[in-house]
Chains A and B, each alone.
Chain A
Amino acid sequence: MIEFENVTKLYGTVIGVNDISLSLPPGAYGLVGPNGSGKSTLLNMITGQLSPTIGRVRIFEESPIQNARLYRRLGYCPSSEGLYSDVSAIHWVTYLQELGGLSQAQARDAAHDALVQTGLKDVMQRPISTYSRGMRQRVKLAQAIAHNPDLLILDEPFSGLDPIGRNQMTMLLKTWLQEGKSLLLATHVLHEIESLTPAFLLMCGGRLLAAGNSNDVHGLLADVPNRITLCSSTPRPLAALLLEQDLGDAFAIHPDRIVVETQNPGRLFALLPELLKTTDCDVTELHSEDESLNALFSSLMKIHRGER
């Protein structure tokens, strides 16, 4: 579906993306990275708005540059708002569908259906200026899905949404994925991706740091120090016990917990229950940063920076 061959994009002397190679079959992917990491540049190259300085980009085995046929298979929702405030949602989405190649009647029907699908049935005739942020995000999504594309590309679709709006957007995207369509979602908020797909691409500084699912990255982190928090009413004896068993490289002792840094979290998790049985120490809660995509991201960032 998406192929990058040694793609580099330069803005003058500034590197937008740096030597990226990847091949993604149809499916759902999260593109994760901090602001300025090159996510939008990558998406702009996928949508043909930018051409690579070096390398080759192929989408559905075609070049995306000035490719009218390919554009009909893509739905794109940029991170910026860019809506006309003085027109209604139905008018604007219809206009964009006409520009996408539909006749006036077809465009109006497609726009109407997409706005209904995104929950804007009752307000689609109102000027966009009267919409809340969440409603405007849904209008953006409606223009991207109205022509029923094969690949939906969303750049920060959750930006500015309140928890209810985020949940509604997640539900909409889950419905989209259940229809067997492909999705590429760029965000810097990791749990938004976790709720939609386990597959992700991690970018930083214009480079692709990792690609795969969270299990793949867990494998990459097998020998990487992990930080584990153990909540306990006996933090000092517990720390001494773990040190004695060589289960930690560094300990931070707090009144109600200890934070352990270890290069072998698996051994710690395996031995801890038996150790607790034989002593008076207790552990009421255990948190490992490594259990979320968030931890994977920060760990990989540290590897990339040479801090580990």
Chain B
Amino acid sequence: MSPAGNVLAVIRFELRRACSRGRLLWWVVLAGFPILLTLLIISVPKQSGVEPPREMWATILFLLCPMAVSMLGTFLYAAPAVSVELERKSWAYLAVRPHASTAVMLGKYLVAVLWAGSAACAGLTVSLLIARPDDMGALWWAMVRLIGLSCPAYGAAYLLLGTLFYKRAMIACIAYTLLFELAASFIPAIVNKFTIQFRLRGLFLQWAKIDVSSTDGLLLQLLGNSPPWVHVVILAGYTLVLLILAQIVLRWSEFTIADEATT
């Protein structure tokens, strides 16, 4: 079997495990999060008699689906991809099989993208059906494309961090999210252009047709004004580079579960 066949074997195995009761419950929680908030929001304007504008729905759904759900979903699945095998001490079975460690890493990554992406898309679709904003179809398509870029990019970032800091994978990923993606991305300097969040924001404004022509220069620095293809190419490049780096780290690391290694 080729290395690609190995990846397919991992995907089959992981998808079957993803259908366990516990993981399905997590999927429902993730998909239900934007739905619940949408229900709460629509209950408020109806009481005051004011309908929320389309831009508000677009922004809320962007923050919930391509951002929160995609980030959290890939974080839960991709960050511990390597560390969980080491903690469970199942790594030894993989390490002595041809290309298995690479296949497990990539297979789990793809399942993480699929798992988080499907939850985000399900949450988005139901939320839009509940909220029914103007131009709902275009908004749905814009968000689905953003989810399609967000999940692979965040999944690759968490996979690399989880492989690099496998003993503290979750802490490293939380620190990265808080310090880099949430804090640094809002600093109006060159550093924010290196964040995934900045690229997604730029795409969101253009694909969701949010008018920012009247905004001042400082705000534009936070939102970016590059054409969509630039953002897409940079995000795809990020994803590829992060996956290659994770693979290099994996090949250079000597993961061993031998007790003697620590004595």
Which A residues are in CB contact (< 8 Å) with B89?
78, 80-82
B98 engages A101 (CB within 8 Å): yes
Which residue of chain B is the closest to A78 with respect to CB atoms?
Answer: B92
B254 engages A98 (CB within 8 Å): no
Which A residues are in CB contact (< 8 Å) with B259?
35-36, 40
Given contacts A41-B258, A80-B257, A99-B97, whether A49 and B92 have CB atoms under 8 Å apart is yes
- Shortest distance between the CB of A283 and any CB in chain B (Å): 44
A104 engages B9 (CB within 8 Å): yes
A66 engages B251 (CB within 8 Å): yes
- Shortest distance between the CB of A148 and any CB in chain B (Å): 14
A99 engages B17 (CB within 8 Å): no
Contact flags B83-96 to A (C-beta < 8 A → 1, else 0): 00000111111111
B213 interface contact, C-beta 8 A: no
Bin the interface of chain B by size: 35 or more
From A44, A69, A86, A107, B20 is in contact (CB under 8 Å) with A86
A68 interface contact, C-beta 8 A: yes
A82 engages B91 (CB within 8 Å): yes
Determine the distance from Cα of A84 to Cα of B13 in the docked complex, in whole angstroms: 11
B6 interface contact, C-beta 8 A: yes
Determine the distance from Cα of A86 to Cα of B258 in the docked complex, in whole angstroms: 24
Given contacts A86-B20, A104-B9, whether A40 and B93 have CB atoms under 8 Å apart is no
Bin the interface of chain A by size: 35 or more
Which A residues are in CB contact (< 8 Å) with B20?
86
Which residue of chain B is the closest to A87 with respect to CB atoms?
Answer: B17
From A39, A68, A96, B93 is in contact (CB under 8 Å) with A96
B92 engages A76 (CB within 8 Å): yes
B1 engages A98 (CB within 8 Å): yes
B40 interface contact, C-beta 8 A: no
Determine the distance from Cα of A95 to Cα of B89 in the docked complex, in whole angstroms: 16
Determine the distance from Cα of A87 to Cα of B93 in the docked complex, in whole angstroms: 15
B103 interface contact, C-beta 8 A: yes
Which A residues are in CB contact (< 8 Å) with B92?
49, 76, 78, 80, 82
Chain A residues close to B by CB (< 8 Å): 11, 14, 16, 35-36, 38-41, 44, 47-51, 66, 68-69, 71-72, 74, 76, 78, 80-84, 86-87, 91, 95-96, 98-104, 107, 143
Q: Which 10 interchain pairs have the tightest Cβ spacing?
A: A68-B98, A98-B9, A82-B89, A80-B89, A78-B92, A82-B90, A40-B258, A99-B100, A99-B97, A76-B96
Chain B residues close to A by CB (< 8 Å): 1, 5-6, 9-10, 13, 16-17, 20, 88-100, 103-104, 251, 254-263
